[in-house]
Amino acid sequence: MSQGAASLLLAHKPHGRILLVIGEGKLALQRARAAVDAGMRAVLAWHTPHDPTEPGIECVAIERDTLFPAPAQEAACAEAWAHLLDRIDTPDKNLFAVCVTDTLATVVPEAHARRARCEVLAHACRARRLPLNVTDVPDLCDYAFPATHSFAGAHDSPSLQIAVTTNGKGCRLAGRIRRHIVSSLPASIGVAVDRIGDMRERAKSAAGHAVDAGEHEDEPSLGDTLGYHAPMEPIPAPDACTLQRRRMQWIAQISEYWPLDKLAALTPSEMQALLETDMPLRNNALPDPDERASKRSRHDLTVEPQSRGRVFLLGSGPGHPGLLTVAARDILTSPTTDLILSDKLVPTAVLALIPATTPLVIAKKFPGNAEGAQSELIAQALEAAQQGKTVVRLKQGDPYIYGRGGEELVACQNAGIECTVVPGISSAMAGPLMVGIPVTQRGAAESFVMCTGVGRGGKRVRLPGYERSRTMVVLMGVARLAAVVDTLLADESEGRAGPAYPPYTPMAIIERASSEDQRMIATTIERIVDVMEHHISDGQRPPGMLVVGWAVLSLTGPVAGARVLDDESRCAAEHADASAAAHALAACDRERIDAWLGPSGFRIVEGLPPGFERFPASSALRADDATPAPRSATGWAAPRYDAAPRAVGC
């Protein structure tokens, strides 16, 4: 290929053919797997046999002298390559192409030998008209492997593939460009391709005989040749072939101008209706003026798919309106949002952002009614979406973190409703952060685990056992605080998977995280119940979470920055006896706890952290300047459409 020429991009279908891959390692396996994905057989060739663990991949051995020929061995090398190519190609001439992946070498003499081997192999391939690809040697390449991506269609099989090539100048950059292209296309693009394919088959078979698959789409339509607004003389009704051709042109127009998500959403009945929309055009005339207000082009389709609604599963974050994502705020304040169904725990500051003209329902979940209210919310969301409305299911935190968002997604899928999940900042990570607790911290916590204090139907859940380097976050556990503490401290407990927690392990309760009145109470596991019962005067149990582990104190007071995890190895080094080392570690831990908590034995932090006042309050974030109209007792604003949904969980 000349240096300045472009590549000829072709989409091959080499089903049942063979790709010979010469090399080892990750790249060689990638090439082989790509061949198998295309329905080919892959043959991996190297001087040490590969482990043939994957179906469709065969391994053969090559003499090392063939791979790295000395200058005097070029003739023998050429003969060896010719023998290998002929052996793999016979008896059915099924060898499709050859690629070499091992051209990068760390030793200069070996690199020279690899180049010599590739030149001999290139001569043998071209003598047999076999395309060759040599990694990082573009002058020996007859073809290249582009950066590709496949989009699944309606039946999970690839219906659309895209490929990007930099003509050998930068495979990493090609991959980056591919990612940009993929991210700019809707996820349903593969389904849209299937829908157009189905319509083409319907159009080709409508008159009882087929038209070649690629025929007519690029031919000019009557509108193109005569002008979209030019009057046309009626002619007799077309025969079957002409009608078929016209329908293919109609599909071409739809492919060109319809939104891709609309194409993906087409049902069989809608596709059939679209194919029949050319009836007014059979006489080569535009529809009668009485039927349409004005004569418009064929770009202005006369039949639209039935309008469908959509459900957004929207995470509202931990509570502060400034911690909403941009996407969440846009959806909540958009005039195109028809209905918002909110969980009970979403703070008032977030709900205040919703325009007064947008209907809002707040679930009235209370003990004994949670399941019923949840089911009614789902039913209400589906009912409104089936009417073509845009519905928001507003959930605290992130929809998938104990938010039951997965159940609602499945319900939408089963009902044929488009559902978009918009992530929210989870309170499990934001809550500790807002009070100065990291869930991971170098020297204090190498991992963290998140769990719930309430199982399905109110049952107890099994909590993880103690691990010094791990932080545990328990959501919805404050109401069962005493039971949680008993589970963590008991020598043996069916409610715990793993060893008991040392009673002096730091523990914090975080209430109303990120709200202006947030509060943290921190002490140890053994003291937390007493502190909550005798030292917290308000006696309230607002929504909160539990944080357990050494990360709780890692950024606080006189022990801030302490490398707690180093104490275990230090005590083990200082005490040969394991029991003595354990006692020394416990004494070190208690000394640190005492320095952290002080004489009171607990710490309380209230309010947002310093500097957070600069973030706007909810009133400053409102999208509309109008004074909100008062809502009814059920939370409803003035209805935006007829048949307003019912109140939930009353």
Q: Can you give the pLDDT at residue 364?
A: 66
pLDDT band for position 265 (cuts 50, 70, 90): confident
Lowest mean pLDDT among 78-92, 422-436, 526-540, 633-647: 633-647
Q: Mean pLDDT over residues 133-159, rounded?
A: 86
Using DSSP's 3-state secondary structure scheme, residue 611 falls into coil
Per CATH, the homologous superfamily of domain 428-606 is: Tetrapyrrole methylase, C-terminal domain (3.30.950.10)
Using DSSP's 3-state secondary structure scheme, residue 430 falls into helix
Alpha helices by DSSP H, listed for 206-282, are 222-226, 240-257, 260-264, 268-275
Write the pLDDT tens digit of every residue in 282-306.
333 333 434 433 434 333 444 444 4
CB count, 10 Å around CB of 127? 11
CB count, 10 Å around CB of 184? 7
Verdict on whether the full-model pTM lies above 0.75: no
Q: Tell which residue, 55, 154, 67, has the closest CA to residue 116.
A: 67
Q: What is the mean pLDDT of the chain?
A: 80
Please check whether the two domains, 18-145 and 310-425, share a CATH topology: no
Highest mean pLDDT among 96-105, 192-201, 363-372, 383-392: 383-392
Q: Where are the domains positioned within the chain?
A: 18-145, 310-425, 428-606
For 520, 633, 637, the CA distances from 641, given in Å and listed in that order, are 44, 19, 11
Q: Can you give the pLDDT at residue 470?
A: 97
Alpha helices by DSSP H, listed for 163-297, are 171-184, 189-205, 222-226, 240-257, 260-264, 268-275
Using DSSP's 3-state secondary structure scheme, residue 640 falls into coil
Q: Can you give the pLDDT at residue 601?
A: 94
Its sign, for the CA torsion 252, 257, 258, 260, is: positive
pLDDT band for position 49 (cuts 50, 70, 90): low
Q: Can you give the pLDDT at residue 295?
A: 39
Per CATH, the homologous superfamily of domain 310-425 is: Tetrapyrrole methylase, N-terminal domain (3.40.1010.10)
Q: Tell which residue, 261, 189, 191, 252, has the closest CA to residue 220.
A: 252
Assigned CATH topology for domain 18-145: Rossmann fold (3.40.50)
pLDDT band for position 91 (cuts 50, 70, 90): confident
Q: Does residue 217 surpass a pLDDT of 60?
A: no
CB count, 10 Å around CB of 296? 14
